[in-house]
Structure formats: C-alpha cells, structure tokens
Structure 1
Amino acid sequence: MISTPPAPSFTGIEREPCDPSPTELGRRIKMLRIAAGLTLKDLEERGGISATHVSEIERGKASPTIGALARIAHALGVRPAVLVESHVLPEVTVTRAAERAGNCIQWGAATLEAVTAPVQDAGLGGHLITLPIQREPALTHCHEGEEWATVLSGAAEIRIEKDPHVLREGDALHFKAHRSHSYTNLSSSSAVLLVVSRPRLAI
C-alpha cells in the first residue's frame, strides 16, 4: 500500500493572523489536500463534509463555517490555524546542497527530497526521487496538473496507466499527471530522478 506524505505546513515570514480571502483559503486547502494524496471523496469520508462543498470552497465559491473549517483541517491532519494564518513567502529562494539534508520523506518505497524551498504562490516544485533496487513500482500515484521527470543516474520505467516508458540517464518525460503513473527502478543500484510537478508537492 502506498503511504501518503505528511501534510505540509506553510512556512515563511509570519504576520499577524488575519482572515484570508476565500480564494486564498481555497488554494491552501487544495494544495494541502493534493500534497497529502487525498481526493475530494477522501476528504468527505475523513471529515464528514461533502465533496461538492469542499470543491466549492477550494474554488473560492463558498466560505466554510468554523465547524466545517475544523472538520477539513482534521481530515488534512493539520491545525485549523494553518488554514487561516497569514504568511508571506519570499519571491526568490536559494537552497544549498547541504541545506537539503534531512528534508526527505518516504513515499511508498521511494525517497523524496525537496530541491528548493517554495516561493510566494508557488505553482510548481522540484524533487529528487530515489528508487530502491526492486522490480516492483516504488511509487504509484496521480494528481491534477502535470509532471516532468529526467533520470540523473540509473534507469527507470515510468508507466502511465498501461503505457511503459523506459528512461535512461539524460532521458526526460513530460505528461499530464491526472492519469495513474508509477516509477520503477530498472538498475542494479538505486536510480535517481529529478521530478518537477505542478501543483507543487510541499514536504
């Protein structure tokens, strides 16, 4: 069973808490939901709030009550304050190689390492994905948006639904990510890929 990454937190320069606009609140909820690998239906089952209503909130078409906000936060595994606190991120970030150490999560059998810190209103993000030595898919998922991957070392198969694509060092693949896709190592040692996704997966 593929495990989901922990829900990300918003980091940056904290300001005094204030009510975000419906659009910003919806964006935060959607980003957290996608980053946690949850569908609208998953949120409905976890939080007891209809998927239709959550969809309206994510699109900024509806404002949740305090009770609904608490249920959504519980379903996402975050404090309600995370959804409404005011934070400002920089417009430029530089991440040194030494600073990335330890900024990893285990997702399925794969290890994901964030390449950069997010900027304000980030729409995409890059990760180094290390695939262990095994012939079964190390990571299978799908999400809204798109994904781009290139192999830095080793060889890997990226299967998009039933279509396999074998990539060796330097090869790249770009695809719509709403289709189920998996990453499998074809090497005799760990394979490392640079993957850029939109929307950004925050870890």
Structure 2
Amino acid sequence: MLGERLRELRSARGLTLRRLADETGLSAGLLSQLENGRTDPSIETLRRLAKVFDSDLADLFREPDAPEVHLSRPGERLRMQAPTGLLTYERLTSGRGNFEMLRGVLAPGDTSAAEPRGHASSECVYVIEGEIVASIGGIDHPVVGGEAITFDSRLPHLFRNDGDIDAVILLAVTPPAP
C-alpha cells in the first residue's frame, strides 16, 4: 500500500529511483525496498519524500481505494520507524484521509521527536499504560495511564517518557499531518 503509493507519486512526476534518491538524499536501494514493501520507512524518510513530492506526510498514506471497513491486525500494520530514542508508530487506520489513529510505545527516556513541532491538526493522546509528559507550547503536562490530553497541534509539541516503564499510547490526529 505505501510502496504502491510511493511508486505512483514517483512515476507521476517522471522520476527514476536514482533521480528521487538524488533529490531526497536517500539511497536508490532504500527507495526500491520501500516501493517493494521490504522495509518500513523512518519518519525522517517520509518527511524527505513528502517534501520532494510537494505534499504532506498524510498524502503519502492516502489510499483512494481504501476499504470502507478496515481491520487492523498486529503484525500487519504499517510501522513508521524512528531513530533510536524516538517514538515508533503503528498506523491503526486505513488510508481514507479524514483522520489517523496511531499506536506508539515510548521506552523510558524516549521522546516522540528531537524537538517540538507543530502542524495544522487537532490531536488526542490517550495513555494506555505508563505515563508520558506532553510538552505543548512550552508547558509540560504529565499524563498517566487512563488519562487523555487533547490539543491544537499547531502548538509545538512532543511527548516524552520520564518514567521507568514503557508508555503505550493511542494518538488520534485529524486531519492527518506530518
């Protein structure tokens, strides 16, 4: 699904894998693996691709033919890998484009991003297990298991785990954004 979308976007712009590699600073081999579904992309890789395609991150996942009913099963979900110390997400929703639901696990000491970022969306983060600190607009908000925090995503934000156990979160974003 993501690989097919990337191939479609690349072909629509008349780009070869080599040319796309040059424009993104990624290797042609990695791009080929992404298109063929043999590897999961990092969030930074997705951002580079979205920039070259002059779109947003959510557009990379938009699937015009996504089913009206989507069952998300463990082990079959798209994973968006992050560098060590950053949050890795699993996408729980289909690519229909109106909202996105993600599951993430923050290990102790991990954060969701290297620095706070904002984007034009609304978010709700529900903590299933453990606890996080949601830094939103420069203010830290502790959120423990069973609690949720909702905010305007245009405010620069990130989530971090200052605790001693993994924090498992559900994140809803509408509309989907990078």
Is TM more than 0.5 here? Answer: yes
**CA spacing shift, 1:103–1:37, aligned 2, 3 Å:** closer
2:159 to 183, 186, 196: 183
CA distance in 2, matches of 1:36, 1:87: 19
**CA spacing shift, 1:180–1:171, aligned 2, 3 Å:** same
In the TM superposition, residue 170 of structure 1 has moved relative to its aligned partner by 0.6
1:12-161 equivalent positions in 2, closer than 5 A: 36-37=46-47, 43=51, 72-73=52-53, 87-100=64-77, 103-106=79-82, 109-119=86-96, 122-134=97-109, 137-139=111-113, 140-161=116-137
Q: Which of these two proteins has the greater Rg computed from alpha carbons? A: 1
Q: How many residues align?
A: 132
Write the letter of the residue equivalent to 2:117. H
Query: TM-score under structure 2 normalisation?
Result: 0.60
Consecutive unaligned residues of structure 1, counting only runs of 5 or more, are: 1-7, 19-34, 44-71, 77-81
CA distance in 2, matches of 1:105, 1:201: 16
Q: What's the RMSD between the two structures over aligned residues?
A: 3.5
2:144 to 168, 188, 192: 168
CA distance in 1, matches of 2:3, 2:153: 23
Show CA shifts across 1:156-179 (max 9, x none).
000112211111001001111011
Consecutive unaligned residues of structure 2, counting only runs of 5 or more, are: 13-44
